[in-house]
Every structure is written in structure tokens, then in C-alpha cells.
Amino acid sequence: MPPDSSSFTALNIPPSAVPEWMGSFTLAAPPNTDLWRKPPSRDTSTAPILYTALRNPFIAAEVTVSADWELEWDQGGLVIFAGAPPGRIGGSAAQTGTAAATSTTAGVGVVAAAAAAAVVGAAAAAQGDAPPAYVPPAPASKWVKVGLEFCNNACHATSVCATADGADWALTALPPHHARRLDLRVKIERIGYALWIWYEDEVSGWKKLREVTWFFWGVEDKAVRVGVYASRPANFGSTQYERRHGGPSVTQRNLCVDFEGLEIF
């Protein structure tokens, strides 16, 4: 049974775009949108995403993804966050200004707190007491995405794992009997502290893509959020496409990714 849509949060799409029924819906990804992490600039989080926080510990999630894949790196699928998900993109100028002011105020507060802590520490040292223990900052969130990706003129099973230091990227060729299809069912599953990533082969059943052994280590259940994403990272000219089809460039169009049979346990 599909999850309740009222529990989902929308990123990079208006809240009104959240579908009423999560069993079958579409996400539209404009060109130059992605979910990626590369040091030192941190996250690129411009992809349309729908995610939900869970009331119970995460067990598994799966969905079938399909689209008219046209551009290099067109993709869509499941995403899971351990820790804070990416911030909202595309807020109003007033909201941006408020956020900037809040950030500035917070920065001033941090400086003032540090100065106060230094004074307290010096006073404690003068009295022979040890200063307060150092509390390290919270680690950056971890996330994993898995789905179908168009690369080198063919569809592949794709997976990306992101840690505080950056993200990797892996493509897996689909079997010959599946290579011409435009859809793929993918699954993520918790096994102990590990996250197992699967795709479904219509002939031999579920096939394991990879095992992320560290994903749930040190993660509270309430910090796990799961959802779907779509992205069109490419944004280059396509005059050849225009001549062939006699219409506007594909790079000016959104990638519309269809999601069927979403289940989250």
C-alpha cells in the first residue's frame, strides 16, 4: 500500500505539487538539476525530491521508475537520507533575506558564545577547575540514491553513496533482455547497520547492486528520511536534435519521471 502523501515534504517543487496518491505520480526535473556532493563546495541539491520521515525504524522501500530518457545523465529513483536532508531551494527573496539575517545573527551569537566560553574557561583555570569538555560538531548527513540513469545512449541501474567527504557514482549494465526497456524497479533495504541496494530483473528476480555497510552506523531511527527524486544534470546545446525533430531543443524541456508502486516500510 502506498504511503500517505500528507507525510511527504517537497524539495525544489511547490508543496502543492505533492500528489494526492503516492501509488502513481510524476516528477518534472528541469535541465541542470542534480543531487550530488563534491568537496569542497558540498551539496548540489537542486533535484526535485519528495521525502518522508518515518514513525517506525526503516525496513525497506521500493518503486518502479520510467521516463523518456533523452539526455546524458537523465535519472530518477529512490533516495534515503541519514541526518538532515538538503535545505529548500528557490524560496522567496524575503525568505532568503530572513534566512541570511538569521544566519548572520546566529554567527554573531556563536562568536559571542565562544568569547563567553573563553572567559569562563579562564576563570575556571584560575580556580583550578578543568574547562568544559569539547563537543565536536555534528557530522554531515549521509545519503544514498538508486534508480535508472541514461548514460552512453543506454539505460543503466545507478547508485550514488555520499558521506561527509563527498560522493561516489556507480553504473551497472542491465541484462540484454532488459536493456531496451525504459523502466526499472529498484529497492533499498536495511540489513543490520548496512543498506542493501537492489534492482529487479524480470527473468531472475532481485539482483543486488551493492552493500553500503556503514549507512546506519551511529544514526538514530528518527533521523532517517526516505523518498524519490528526479534530475536532469545536463544542460548543453542540442541543435542536432532540433534539426532532427523540428522542435525546441530537448535541453529546454523538463525530464518527466513516472513513479509506480511506491512502498516504504
pTM for the full model? 0.78
Domain boundary among 119, 138, 157: 138
Could you read off the pLDDT of 94-132 as tens digits, one per residue?
A: 333 333 333 333 343 434 444 444 444 444 444 556 777
Instruction: Give pLDDT, residue 106.
Output: 37
Q: Which domain, by its residues, includes 152? A: 5-85+141-264
Count CA within 13 A, CB hemisphere, residue 63: 30
Q: Distance of CA 87 to CAs 43, 90, 215, Å? A: 10, 10, 21
Number of domains in the chain: 2
Instruction: Give pLDDT, residue 164.
Output: 87
Do 56 and 153 sit in the same domain of this protein?
yes
Low-confidence ranges of the chain (pLDDT < 70): 87-129, 134-140, 236-251
Question: 146-170 b/e with 16+ CB inside 10 Å = b?
Answer: bbbbbbeeebbbbbbbbbeeebeee
Do 252 and 153 sit in the same domain of this protein?
yes
Do 207 and 257 sit in the same domain of this protein?
yes
Residue closest to 208 by CA, chosen among 253, 154, 170? 170
Helix, coil or strand: residue 99: helix
Do 151 and 235 sit in the same domain of this protein?
yes
Do 244 and 154 sit in the same domain of this protein?
yes
Do 221 and 155 sit in the same domain of this protein?
yes
Cα–Cα distance, 183 to 181 (Å, whole number): 6
Do 134 and 54 sit in the same domain of this protein?
no
Query: CB of 248 within 8 A of CB of 242?
Result: yes
Do 129 and 145 sit in the same domain of this protein?
no
Q: List phi, psi (to 5°) of 249.
A: -60, 140
Do 230 and 219 sit in the same domain of this protein?
yes
Cα–Cα distance, 126 to 257 (Å, whole number): 65
CATH number of the domain within which 10 lies: 2.60.120.200
